[in-house]
Amino acid sequence: MAGLRGENVDSTQFFTASRLIIVAGKGGVGKTTAGAALAIAAARSGLSVLLVELEGTTGLSRLLGCEPLGYDPVEVPLDAETTGSLTARMITPDQALLDYLADHGLKRVGRAMVSSGILEIVSTATPGIRDLLVLGKIRQLETERAADLIILDAPAAGHAITFLRSPTGIAEAATSGALHTQATEALAMLGDPSRARVMLVTLPEETPINELVDTAYSLEEDVGVMLGPVVVNGTWPPLPGLDVELERAASEAGVTLSDDEADSLRAAGAYRAERTAMQQSQLERLGDELPLATLNLDFVFTNELETADLSRLADRLLDEIDALDAVLSD
Amino acid sequence: MPTTPPEETTDPADMTRLIDTAEVIICCGSGGVGKTTTAAVIGLAAAGRGRRVAVVTIDPARRLADALGLAEIGSEPARIDGTWPGELSALMLDAKSTFDSLVRRYAANEAQAAGILANPFYRNISGTLSGTQEYMASEKLYELHRSDDFDLVVVDTPPTRNALDFLEAPERLSKFLNHKLYRAVTAPSRGVLKVVNAATGAVLRQVGKVVGSEVIGDALAFFSAFEGMEEGFRQRATAVAELFADPATAFVLVTAPREDSVAEARFFAGRLSDDGIEVRALIVNRMHPPFGEPDPTADDRAADRLSDAPGGEALADYHRARADLRRLARDERSNLSELTAQVGSAAIVHVPSLATDVHDLEGLTRVGRSLLVN
Q: What is the pLDDT, as a whole number, of residue A78?
A: 92
**Residue B61 pLDDT > 50, yes or no?**
yes
Q: What is the pLDDT, as a whole number, of residue A56?
A: 57
What residue of B is the nearest CA neighbor of A244?
A: B314
| H or E segment and range at residue A199 | strand A196-202
pTM of the predicted model over 0.90: no
Least confident range of A114-123, A160-169, B289-298: A114-123
Under 8 Å CB-to-CB from B10, ≥6 apart: which residues?
Answer: B346, B347, B348, B349
| Under 8 Å between Cβ of B60 and B281 | no
Distance CA A267, CA B2 (A): 7
Q: What is the mean pLDDT of residues A288-313?
A: 86
Q: What is the mean pLDDT of residues B52-62?
A: 79
Q: CA angle, A182 as apex, A177 and A184 as ends, to 5°?
A: 95
Neighboring chain B residues of A184 at a CB cutoff of 8 Å = none
Using a CB–CB cutoff of 8 Å, tell me whether B214 touches chain A: yes
Q: Which has more pLDDT, B71 or A179?
A: A179
Neighboring chain B residues of A279 at a CB cutoff of 8 Å = none
Strand-by-strand arrangement of the B24-28 sheet: B78-79, B87-92, B52-57, B152-156, B24-28, B249-255, B279-287, B347-352
Q: Distance (Å) from the C-alpha of residue B100 to the closest C-alpha of chain A?
A: 16
Mean of pLDDT over chain B? 80
Most confident of A161-175, A267-281, B89-103: A267-281
Neighboring chain B residues of A112 at a CB cutoff of 8 Å = 203, 206-207
Q: Which amino acid does the sequence have at A10?
A: D
**CB-CB under 8 Å, B129 with A127:** yes
Least confident range of A190-204, A267-281, B117-131: B117-131
Q: What is the pLDDT, as a whole number, of residue B316?
A: 97
Q: Distance (Å) from the C-alpha of residue B221 to the closest C-alpha of chain A?
A: 12
Least confident range of A174-188, A282-296, B201-215: B201-215
Largest separation between any pair of C-alpha atoms in chain A: 81
Neighboring chain B residues of A269 at a CB cutoff of 8 Å = 317-318, 321-322
Using a CB–CB cutoff of 8 Å, tell me whether B317 touches chain A: yes
Under 8 Å CB-to-CB from A249, ≥6 apart: which residues?
Answer: A241, B314, B315, B317, B318
A241 → closest Cβ in B2, B316, B334: B316
| Under 8 Å between Cβ of A265 and B314 | no
Q: What is the mean pLDDT of residues B205-230?
A: 70
> Which candidate in B126, B207, B220, B301 is best for mutational testing of the A interface (most A CBs within 10 A)?
B207
Using a CB–CB cutoff of 8 Å, tell me whether B262 touches chain A: no
Burial of A173 (0-12, 13-18, 19+ CB in 10 A): buried
Q: Say how many C-beta atoms besides its own lie within 10 A of residue A316's C-beta.
A: 17
Neighboring chain A residues of B222 at a CB cutoff of 8 Å = 125
Neighboring chain B residues of A97 at a CB cutoff of 8 Å = none
A113 → closest Cβ in B159, B207, B222: B207
Q: What is the mean pLDDT of residues B79-103?
A: 86
Distance CA B159, CA A302 (A): 25
Using only the alpha carbons of chain A, give its radius of gyration: 23
Q: In percent, how much of chain A has pLDDT > 70?
A: 87
Q: Distance (Å) from the C-alpha of residue B151 to the closest C-alpha of chain A?
A: 30
Distance CA A264, CA A119 (A): 62
Rounded to the nearest 10 degrees, the angle between the axes of helix B191-211 and helix A107-116 is 130
Assign 3-state DSSP to chain B and report helix, strand, coil percentages, each to 5. 60, 10, 30
Q: What is the mean pLDDT of residues B221-233?
A: 72
Q: What is the DSSP string of B153-171?
A: EEEEPPPHHHHHHHHHHHH
Q: What is the pLDDT of residues A122-156, one digit of tens each?
A: 666 565 777 888 899 999 999 999 999 999 998 77
What does DSSP assign to residue A6? G
Name the E strands within chain B.
24-28, 52-57, 78-79, 87-92, 152-156, 249-255, 279-287, 347-352
B219 φ/ψ angles, rounded to the nearest 5 degrees: -65, -45
B321 → closest Cβ in A27, A109, A272: A272
**Residue A163 pLDDT > 70, yes or no?**
yes
Q: What is the pLDDT, as a whole number, of residue B366?
A: 81
Q: Say how many C-beta atoms besides its own lie within 10 A of residue B8's C-beta.
A: 12
Q: B273: helix, coil or strand?
A: helix
**CB-CB under 8 Å, A173 with B215:** yes
Q: Which has more pLDDT, A31 or A190?
A: A190
Question: Is the Cα torsion angle A53, A59, A61, A67 positive or negative in sign?
Answer: positive
Q: What is the pLDDT of residues A237-247, one digit of tens each?
A: 989 999 999 99
| Under 8 Å between Cβ of A50 and A90 | no
| Under 8 Å between Cβ of B152 and B22 | yes
Neighboring chain B residues of A248 at a CB cutoff of 8 Å = 314
- Of chain B, the end-to-end C-alpha distance in Å amounts to 22
Q: What is the mean pLDDT of residues A158-169?
A: 80
Distance CA B213, CA B206 (A): 9
**CB-CB under 8 Å, B210 with A121:** no
| Under 8 Å between Cβ of A118 and A109 | no
What residue of A is the nearest CA neighbor of B328?
A: A301
Assign 3-state DSSP to chain A and report helix, strand, coil percentages, each to 5. 55, 15, 30
Distance CA B78, CA B71 (A): 10
**Residue B4 pLDDT > 60, yes or no?**
no
Q: What is the pLDDT of residues B145-176, one digit of tens each?
A: 999 999 999 988 766 455 556 566 666 666 66
Give the distance from CA B171 to its chain's centroid: 18
What residue of A is the nearest CA neighbor of B306?
A: A253
Least confident range of A8-17, A309-318, B154-163, B178-187: B178-187
Closest CA to B153 of B51, B235, B60: B51
Neighboring chain B residues of A250 at a CB cutoff of 8 Å = 315
A288 φ/ψ angles, rounded to the nearest 5 degrees: -70, -35
Q: What is the DSSP string of A217-275?
A: HHIIIII--EE-PEEEEEEPPP-GGGGS-HHHHHHHHT----HHHHHHHHHHHHHHHHH
Using a CB–CB cutoff of 8 Å, tell me whether B177 touches chain A: no
**CB-CB under 8 Å, A176 with B213:** yes
**CB-CB under 8 Å, B209 with A263:** no
Q: Say how many C-beta atoms besides its own lie within 10 A of residue B114's C-beta.
A: 14
**Residue A4 pLDDT > 50, yes or no?**
no
**CB-CB under 8 Å, A239 with B63:** no
Distance CA B122, CA B215 (A): 11
Strands B87-92 and B78-79: antiparallel
A/B interface, count of CB pairs below 8 Å: 214
Q: Distance (Å) from the C-alpha of residue A246 to the closest C-alpha of chain B?
A: 7
| Under 8 Å between Cβ of A131 and A97 | no
Under 8 Å CB-to-CB from B185, ≥6 apart: which residues?
Answer: B197, B200, B220, B223, B224
Q: Distance (Å) from the C-alpha of residue B159 to the closest C-alpha of chain A?
A: 8
What residue of A is the nearest CA neighbor of B199?
A: A116
Q: What is the mean pLDDT of residues B32-49?
A: 89
Query: How many CA within 13 A on the CB side of residue A322?
Result: 16
Using a CB–CB cutoff of 8 Å, tell me whether B219 touches chain A: yes
> Which candidate in B315, B320, B334, B360 is best for mutational testing of the A interface (most A CBs within 10 A)?
B315
> What number is the ipTM of this complex?
0.81
Query: How many CA within 13 A on the CB side of residue B258?
Result: 21
Neighboring chain A residues of B261 at a CB cutoff of 8 Å = 28
Question: Is the Cα torsion angle A145, A146, A150, A152 positive or negative in sign?
Answer: negative
Using a CB–CB cutoff of 8 Å, tell me whether B316 touches chain A: yes
Q: Which amino acid does the sequence have at A46?
A: G
